[in-house]
Amino acid sequence: MIQRELGTSGLKVPVICVGGNVYGWTLPEADSIRQLDAAVEAGLNFIDTADMYSRWVPGHTGGESETIIGKWFAKSGKRKEVILATKVGLEMGEGKKGLKPAYIRQAVEDSLRRLQTDYIDLYQSHRDDPETPLEETLGAFDALIKEGKVRHVGASNYSGARLTEALETSKKNGFASYVSLQPHYNLVERREFESDLLPVVEKYRLGVIPYFALAAGFLTGKYRGKEDAAKAKRGMLVEKYLNDWGFGVVRALEEIAKAQKSTPSRVALAWLIAQSGVTAPIASATDAEHLTDLVEATKLKLDAATIDKLNAVSAPQTLAKA
């Protein structure tokens, strides 16, 4: 399995990160545990989750994904084989949100308990908290690293300006610095990352682990119209792509997949793996076939002409005209 270094962290990670957002949501607990076994066996030992997964499901309170992963650690004994990433900051109940030091301290203890581990490899700010001074947030993360509860910290959903400010704040105060960024980036979501964030991650040598690598399933080709979206649990997330431009991207993926004897999912992930700055796209799987796509995507090499074709059909300015 091909590995890359996650920014300046020293962590060697596979070029695909398994998304844990589906655990306990669209993938039941028993199936999630089987998938975790299969993923690690296949060399995909980088797992990303968050404390609030899957709070949006009726009857859930958050922590469901972490709890399942924790049960798997206890059952399998594979904690040391896994690079574990989780996140803090989104709402977990009244008064439980943001990046204030006291809440970070409470949240990390809750995550460690659910995950049944005494350390987190990559602890990420799920979203910028403009109401809390960066010095306070980064100071709290620095303390957790010194205590050994967290190995490295990363950012998610930051603007380029705020990410730069956070990195300079760490440098100024001698705090541990963000080593990675988790942005929304894929073939149909290019503009923000490429124009605003890529210059920052390249300047500061951050690792990049994009989420929604398959655009909530749109890039797999399974959505052919609004009726398909209406039937899916995540259908509302793909509605903005259901137009001539979006379907043009999918057609190109299908043409390339046919020529490569591959699948649109693998081609979309291989394109993302090949992009400047990207360390490991995050993609979730809900069955064995999906997991196979993740594994095989790490082996698929796209030539320059193919990448140019995908770049052209998915160009951000095309989206603006759609």
Residues taking part in catalysis: 53
Token digits of residue 187: 């073939």
H or E stretch covering 178: strand 178-182
Contact 98, 131 (CB under 8 A): yes
Helices (H) and strands (E) in the chain, counts: 13, 10
Residue 280: is it exposed, middle or buried by C-beta count within 10 angstroms (0-12/13-18/19+)? buried
Q: Report the distance separating Cα 310 and Cα 187, nearest Å.
A: 8
Strands 178-182 and 3-5: unpaired
Write the DSSP string, 219-275: GGT---SHHHHHHSTTGGGTGGG-SHHHHHHHHHHHHHHHHHTS-HHHHHHHHHHTS
Positive or negative, the Cα torsion across 23, 183, 14, 298? positive
Q: Which residues make Cβ contacts (< 8 Å) with residue 188, sequence separation at least 6?
A: 215, 218, 219, 241, 246, 249, 314, 319
Residue 205 CA to residue 133 CA, distance in Å, equals: 24
For residue 300, give the 3-state DSSP assignment: coil
Rounded CA-CA distance 42/49 in Å is: 19
Spatial CA neighbour of 208 closest among 194, 222, 221, 188: 194
